[in-house]
Amino acid sequence: MESWPVRAGDTSLFLECESGVVKMVCVSYSGVGIENAPQLEACSESSPAARISLPGGIYIESTVEKLMEWQTVLSGQQVFDLDFDNPQLRFRAENPSEDGMIPITSFGSSRGEILNAALDFDAIGKAFLVNSVDHVRVESVAHFREGRIAYASGRHVDAYNNYYLFLETRYCDGKFGNERQTKLLCQVPDFLKYLNEAIVYFRQEATEKQPRKSKHLEEVFKPDSTAYKKIESLVLLRGHLRHHSLKSPHRWNPNRQQEYEMPARFLGLVVGNIVLSESLRDIYDPVIQEKFRDISSNAGLKTEIKVSTYRIDRKPTLVVDMTFPTTVTSTRLCLRATRDTIDLCENKEQLSDTTKLAAEANGLELFVAEVGIWAYTVTRSVKGMPERNYIRCVFEYLKAGAVLRGEFKLPIQRSTIDVLSGWRLLESCFDWIENRDPTTRIVTLRIFLNEFESPLIRYAVGAQVKR
């Protein structure tokens, strides 16, 4: 995990990492007076025990507030399990005259490393530069974050309740009652959009993997059910889980929460997409990107990439020089450079006969993307069936230090694939994987037409690429 200080005025953000996992998120303040350092008060007649006083408590409050805003922006892509109840304070002398005047240099404790890995540092740094996050958004995303942590811990009831609290805080305007909340949620375009997308995704997953069905989501997946009925069933489940009573014969057992895994995962997908859309909007804001780029460039913390493109019949080709505000050659960096190069080739009107992209960084291979040998035939295309064609995407990705394999199918309308449509399919597969999990670290990817054994296009990162 990459980390270097992101400075905004007298305040800086940096991460402490170990084996690719974030151990601590730190906010540093410069120019703080020595009187704010912790003091050790000796025993006295009125106080038989020694005491530690922390006069700089205002900085704790300021840090918690800033990190809550930072987490709100970032939570759509990466959830950090930070223990705000037990912050660790560190004190360092800023000049020689303060040496020896700080009796306690560190105070506090920290715990856990749940969910504290995976995201690239550039998104983490950009989130810190976002200002004035609305307090309603901060509060509602805090519920989403707690839901993610609960789900990762197997507490599916807590997860569902927290995801619903996001909706209640954000959209229900303090109104209670099943009918009132159902009507209010029916009037939220973003919620309806991502609800329908989640239904489509789960139906596709059911077709591919045939997962266990949930009786709690029967109404949601009924083809003839109205939006009101679907949302009402989610609201009623919230009431059932939140108002737990030992007198009820239908009470849920806290030791058997697997029954509610699918409802929690479903609602988490809906809410997660809302949070992710807001996170991407902020982090990829042009002003924020330029500010972060200036910080990294001025500090010399950047990576230079050279991408060579190859065309059919040896036509003149583009050679692209790129600079990214990062020091780590990660899979996400490769993905971004690949997308940018494809866009540039299209703008220069050479994508339709570009057969290969090959990138280098630090004198070593960074990634390669290449269409199949079919592009060099007379027709420069490959034909499928007259109708009902599809592509198979087989990819390998990094997860918790291991390389895993994934595969999915996507229907396509065309029966003939040419070079331009091949690059379009590569972008579609990237989109599908990112929409499913933005933190997926793709190391290889191959796309096949129907059940053909020769790939339409392939993509792979080099050996130097870090997790």
307 with 377, same domain?
A: yes
| Domain annotation covers residue 288 | no
| Domain annotation covers residue 180 | yes
272 with 209, same domain?
A: yes
| Domain annotation covers residue 297 | no
269 with 338, same domain?
A: no
> Is-contact 24 81, C-beta < 8 A?
no
> Is-contact 344 362, C-beta < 8 A?
no
Q: Indicate the number of domains in the chain.
A: 3
Out of 80-94, 118-132, 212-226, 273-287, least confident range: 80-94
3-state secondary structure of 326: coil
164 with 279, same domain?
A: yes
Q: For the chain, give the mean pLDDT.
A: 85
Over the range 389-408, which residues count as b (16 or more CB within 10 Å of their CB) and which as e?
bebbbbbbbbeeeeeeebeb
**402, pLDDT greater than 80:** no
155 with 121, same domain?
A: no
pLDDT at 111: 42
End-of-domain residue from the set 254, 283, 312: 283
Dig out the tokens for 96 from the structure: 């020689």
Query: Angle at which helices 227-242 and 189-209 pack, to 10 degrees?
Result: 90
> Is-contact 116 23, C-beta < 8 A?
yes
| More confident site: 336 or 467 | 336
Euclidean distance between CA atoms 442 and 434, whole angstroms: 10
Euclidean distance between CA atoms 291 and 146, whole angstroms: 30
> Is-contact 388 351, C-beta < 8 A?
no
432 with 306, same domain?
A: yes
Among the residues of 12-104, which ranges form H helices?
A: 57-74
Out of 16-25, 50-59, 89-98, 137-146, least confident range: 50-59
Euclidean distance between CA atoms 230 and 397, whole angstroms: 35
pLDDT at 362: 87
Span 433-442, average pLDDT: 83
**91, pLDDT greater than 50:** yes
End-of-domain residue from the set 86, 103, 130: 130
Question: 160-212 pLDDT, tens per residue?
Answer: 999 999 999 999 988 888 999 999 999 999 999 999 999 988 887 665 554 55
**47, pLDDT greater than 50:** no
**110, pLDDT greater than 80:** no
151 with 279, same domain?
A: yes
Given pLDDT bands bounded at 50, 70 and 90, which one contains residue 49? very low
**62, pLDDT greater than 80:** yes
Of 174, 175, 205, 172, residue with least CA distance to 186: 172
Residue 431 CB-density burial (10 A; 0-12 exposed, 13-18 middle, 19+ buried): exposed
384 with 333, same domain?
A: yes
> Is-contact 54 41, C-beta < 8 A?
no
End-of-domain residue from the set 236, 252, 283: 283
321 with 378, same domain?
A: yes
pLDDT at 120: 75
For residue 116, the enclosing domain spans: 6-130
Dig out the tokens for 77 from the structure: 């892509």
Span 436-446, average pLDDT: 88
Given pLDDT bands bounded at 50, 70 and 90, which one contains residue 109? very low
| Domain annotation covers residue 152 | yes
pLDDT at 84: 73
Span 300-318, average pLDDT: 89
Question: 222-233 pLDDT, tens per residue?
Answer: 989 999 999 999
Of 166, 115, 156, 168, residue with least CA distance to 262: 156
**48, pLDDT greater than 60:** no
**447, pLDDT greater than 90:** yes
216 with 108, same domain?
A: no
122 with 149, same domain?
A: no
Dig out the tokens for 45 from the structure: 């007649």
Residue 247 CB-density burial (10 A; 0-12 exposed, 13-18 middle, 19+ buried): exposed
Phi, psi of 412 (to 5 degrees): -130, 150
What is the enclosing helix (H) or strand (E) of 237?
helix 227-242
| Domain annotation covers residue 151 | yes
Question: 229-288 pLDDT, tens per residue?
Answer: 999 999 999 888 887 666 666 677 666 788 899 999 999 999 999 999 999 899 989 999
| Domain annotation covers residue 205 | yes
108 with 155, same domain?
A: no
% pLDDT > 70, the chain:
85
Dig out the tokens for 132 from the structure: 């004035």
| Domain annotation covers residue 31 | yes
| Domain annotation covers residue 290 | no
